[in-house]
């Protein structure tokens, strides 16, 4: 930056803007939560789990990476990252909800299936990913569904996500 506060002709950005890249990386990892309509217990079933895993694996072809996830009866938690700017979190969540709703309809469960919107949080370090995952993976234990979190059948990891910052 020049003494007048202008950006030099080399195209370099001011130092304060470069710091933002550490807070908001090019491909952030999001922690997302979506709830069913009226908190109906719809999601903890094999058909929904299979659809979720297939949807997540197919996303890799389009630059969508799903990390760890847990499907609870009335909500889901997932970690997701995008490496294609044409796909955003809102579009992905809408597609995910649609795919899961199609499966729910196929097993005779009538709509509405989802609350409007979803919760999301950008992870800022490996520690926050680990902390969030430790909390999320114990949801089935806290709810009394299983004694050990690893016994909950509706969880997993599709792709290991790297949350480290340079």
Is 3 a member of any domain?
A: no
* Tens of pLDDT, residues 27-53: 789 999 999 999 999 999 999 999 999
Q: Which pLDDT band, with edges at 50, 70 and 90, does 85 fall under?
A: confident
Number of domains in the chain: 1
Is 92 a member of any domain?
A: yes
CATH code, 144? 3.30.70.1290
Measured CA to CA, the distance from residue 40 to residue 114 in angstroms comes to 9
* Tens of pLDDT, residues 114-140: 999 999 998 887 668 888 999 999 999
Is 132 a member of any domain?
A: yes
Is 162 a member of any domain?
A: no
Beta carbons within 10 angstroms of residue 37's beta carbon: 13
Is 12 a member of any domain?
A: no
Model pTM score: 0.81
Measured CA to CA, the distance from residue 141 to residue 151 in angstroms comes to 9
For 103-109, the CB contacts below 8 A with 24+ separation are: 103/47, 103/48, 103/50, 103/51, 104/42, 104/48, 106/47, 107/45, 107/47, 109/42
Domain that holds residue 132: 25-157
Is 44 a member of any domain?
A: yes
């Amino acid at each position: 930056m020049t003494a007048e506060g202008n950006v030099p002709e080399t195209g370099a950005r001011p130092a304060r803007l470069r710091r933002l890249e550490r807070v908001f990386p090019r491909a952030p990892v999001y922690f997302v939560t979506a709830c069913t309509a009226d908190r109906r217990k719809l999601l903890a079933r094999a058909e929904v789990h299979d659809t979720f895993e297939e949807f997540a694996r197919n996303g890799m072809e389009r630059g969508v990476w799903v990390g760890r996830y847990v499907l609870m009866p009335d909500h889901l938690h997932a970690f997701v990252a995008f490496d294609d700017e044409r796909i955003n979190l809102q579009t992905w969540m809408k597609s995910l909800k649609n795919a899961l709703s199609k499966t729910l309809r196929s097993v005779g469960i009538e709509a509405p299936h989802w609350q409007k919107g979803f919760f999301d949080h950008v992870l800022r370090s490996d520690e926050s990913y680990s902390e969030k995952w430790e909390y999320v993976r114990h949801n089935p234990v806290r709810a009394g569904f299983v004694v050990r979190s690893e016994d909950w059948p509706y969880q997993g990891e599709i792709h290991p996500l790297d949350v480290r910052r340079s």
